[in-house]
């Protein structure tokens, strides 16, 4: 029951943010200002992903709002504490990732708020030496305090049994099977 209440509360927060994001902006920004803000968000998120090549858990977590943070993952809402625990566990003892993005979209909601969405793909190298492909759709809600953007909410959808990025897939065998002869 407690978990259901927490999930309902979390969904209410995310739903409220989505509704608020669909409302006209209270701030009128010129197209040039919107473009500049969108570019700064893209650069910030690209930096977040680039950092995963040589990750530091504390540095990663500094980019997240630790108060009120909500993360949606494959049908569940996850708290900042759970994400922080996962970051510390995942990015230890030589683990790293090379992540690329495509289909990037940034919607500027105001001078200090934006939503970033993209498809990410690449590879994760675990601390035990295991390499795994990475592919997911992500959405990040970012807030800016001064010059620094921080993630205040996010969502990831990882397909079950995620396939490697298309560029990593072996070429398809397009040869036709040999025709079977008739039996006499």
- Taking 90 as the threshold, does the pLDDT of residue 64 lie above it? yes
DSSP characters over 12-24: HHHHHHHHHHHSP
Q: What average pLDDT score do residues 35-43 get? A: 97
- Between 80 and 181, whose confidence is greater? 80
Let me know: does 138 contact 117? Beta carbons within 8 Å: yes
**In the chain, what are the domain boundaries?**
9-21+29-161
The pLDDT of residue 16 is 53
CATH class assigned to 9-21+29-161: alpha beta
Q: How does pLDDT run across 157-183, given as a tens digit for each residue?
A: 987 765 544 444 444 444 444 444 444
Q: What is the pTM of this model?
A: 0.72
Q: How does pLDDT run across 121-162, given as a tens digit for each residue?
A: 999 999 999 999 999 999 999 999 888 999 999 999 987 765
- Phi and psi of 149, rounded to 5°? -85, 145
- What pLDDT band is residue 92 in, cutting at 50, 70 and 90? confident
Q: Is the dihedral of CA 54, 132, 126, 151 positive or negative?
A: positive
Exposed, middle or buried, 91 (CB in 10 Å: 0-12/13-18/19+)? buried
């Amino acid at each position: 029951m407690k978990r259901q209440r927490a999930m309902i509360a979390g969904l209410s927060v995310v739903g409220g943010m989505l509704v608020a994001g669909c409302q006209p902006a209270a701030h009128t920004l010129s197209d040039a200002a919107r473009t500049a803000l969108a570019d700064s968000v893209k650069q910030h998120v690209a930096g977040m992903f680039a950092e995963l090549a040589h990750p530091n858990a504390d540095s990663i977590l500094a980019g997240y709002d630790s108060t009120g943070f909500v993360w949606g993952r494959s049908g569940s809402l996850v708290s900042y504490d759970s994400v922080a625990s996962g970051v510390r566990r995942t990015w230890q003892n030589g683990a790293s990732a090379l992540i690329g993005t495509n289909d990037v979209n940034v919607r500027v909601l105001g001078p200090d708020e934006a939503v970033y969405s993209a498809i990410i793909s690449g590879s994760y190298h675990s601390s035990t030496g295991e390499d795994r492909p990475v592919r997911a759709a992500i959405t990040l809600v970012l807030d800016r305090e001064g010059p620094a953007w921080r993630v205040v909410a996010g969502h990831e959808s990882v397909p079950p049994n995620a396939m490697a990025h298309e560029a990593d897939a072996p070429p398809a065998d397009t040869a036709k099977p040999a025709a079977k002869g008739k039996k006499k």
